Amino acid sequence: KAKKKAREGCSLPDSSWEERLADAVTPLWRLPYQEQLQVKYESQRKILQTLASRLEELGIDAQKPGGLCCPLQPVVPSPIINGYRNKSTFSVNRGPDGNPKTVGLYVGTGKARNIVCVKAHHTKNIPPKHKQVAQCYEEFICSSPLDSCILFHEGGHWRELVVRTTSRGHTMAIITFHPQELGQDALATQKALLKEFFTCGPGTVCALTSLYFQESTMTRCSHEQSPYQLLHGEPHIFEELLGLKFRISPDAFFQVNTAGAEVLYRAVGELCQATGDTVLLDICCGTGTIGLSLAHQVSKVIGVEVVEKAIEDAKWNAAFNGISNCEFHSGKAEAVLPQLLASWENARPLVAVVNPSRAGLHYRVVRAIRNCQSIRRLLYISCKPEGEAMRNFLELCCPPDPRKKLTGEPFAPVLAIPFDMFPHTVHCELVLLFTR
């Protein structure tokens, strides 16, 4: 309720804008951490109860003690509670004082037409370095004669800022710019001014490792649609995780809580029950973090990822860390995976780990997994199990259906473990183990 009120811009009457933002972005921030974990446990319990009910509707006896579809372990806490985010996205819009070049996060909704952009100074999950870069970016665009781009059709240029940091002290800033009708000379001028600000001017306090610039006429734009242009520094930043070194590109996926990711991946390694003969299928592999961290346990890792730059990073990461038993495939999982598995006749056991976005897995991916008899064990990692992932769970567990070309033996959920990757928010990363 607090989150909904804050999102709609109607927190307590005497709340400051900073408190309203905190209520919108981190609705559990007022609770002691142990109480936050209990709130999350209860929400995950309800999700598993819902899954059990949905499976019952399909004629599957899935009711376990407490009405759950499988045992639920306590929420695994995050090693770091405050300032844990290694990636933050800041918007540019009107602030509470009317400044159209405020850099921060949103309170309110487009539907209610009450959006206000509030500085993230007091938001607990964002580290000080990210807030510093956001403040410097605001200082720069406020001194610029060019307007901010609040609505594409109304003109303006300066748009969002993404900040990525690592435990090695690296900082990457990615600035999105709407070119509108500007020519190449004018664009070159703006890029030069931006670079000067962060390398010779007030922005030097940020000590950026990488400064990127992207011209974008869309809300979200991939590197393939509009290349990230390196204005200053190194093309990549680097992170260490479970003793391995990982290269990170501007748009590559990397778990937002690095310390939490180490805890998560260790648990995934144990749940895989991999032996020296096991082949690990890492679907939605990003920069290869899961597969590479488990490569020493298995005979081979096969990774699939839609972001081409992330696959380049994964291949570099494997080579740099001296890992030779991994292969990575770029493309949509629904296009790549059926081809990989259609001819799979390997006698070695195959374990699948899937870590999709909130949109879940494409139906053709689920179908390929179901119809590959070699996959007996599946780990589904979801940051929103109550959303599209729920559809995937039902598709994995439903009886065979020739009409939908689901001919493989169904899976069954056997264990659920929530990981608190996002302290102060209502979200969890749920690991659901399926076997057949």
Q: Is residue 321 part of a domain?
A: yes
Q: Is residue 32 part of a domain?
A: no
Q: What is the pLDDT of residue 426?
A: 95
Inform me whether the pLDDT recorded for 318 exceeds 50: yes
Q: CB-hemisphere CA count at 13 Å for 173?
A: 30
Annotated binding site: 255, 305, 355
Annotated binding site for S-adenosyl-L-methionine: 255, 305, 355
Q: Is residue 248 part of a domain?
A: no
Residues 190 and 272 in one domain: no
Q: What CATH number does residue 310 fall under?
A: 3.40.50.150
Residues 156 and 223 in one domain: yes
Q: Is residue 5 part of a domain?
A: no
Could you tell me which residues come within 8 angstroms of residue 303 by beta carbon, excluding any fewer than 6 positions away? 282, 283, 285, 288, 291, 311, 314, 326, 327, 328, 329
Summarised one tens digit per residue, pLDDT across range 16-35 is 999 999 999 999 999 999 99
What 3-state DSSP class applies to 232? strand
429: containing domain = 257-435
2, 159, 419 from 294: Cα distances, Å? 40, 39, 19
d(CA 260, CA 419): 8
Inform me whether the pLDDT recorded for 4 exceeds 60: no
Summarised one tens digit per residue, pLDDT across range 250-292 is 988 889 999 999 999 999 999 999 888 899 999 999 889 999 9
Residues 204 and 263 in one domain: no
Q: Which one of the listed residues 136, 206, 285, 383 is annotated catalytic?
A: 383
Structure-block tokens of residue 311: 């696959």
69 is catalytic: no
Residues 291 and 380 in one domain: yes
pTM: 0.90
Q: What is the pLDDT of residue 351?
A: 95
Could you tell me which residues come within 8 angstroms of residue 301 by beta carbon, excluding any fewer than 6 positions away? 279, 280, 282, 288, 291, 292, 294, 295, 325, 326, 327
Q: Report strand pairing: 158-165 vs 171-177.
A: antiparallel
Residues 331 and 230 in one domain: no
CB 272 within 8 A of CB 354: no
Number of domains in the chain: 2
- Structure letter (DSSP) for residue 405: T
Summarised one tens digit per residue, pLDDT across range 336-384 is 888 888 767 666 788 999 999 888 888 888 988 998 888 999 999 999 9
Inform me whether the pLDDT recorded for 6 exceeds 60: no
Domain end, chosen from 200, 235, 270, is at: 235
Inform me whether the pLDDT recorded for 12 exceeds 50: no
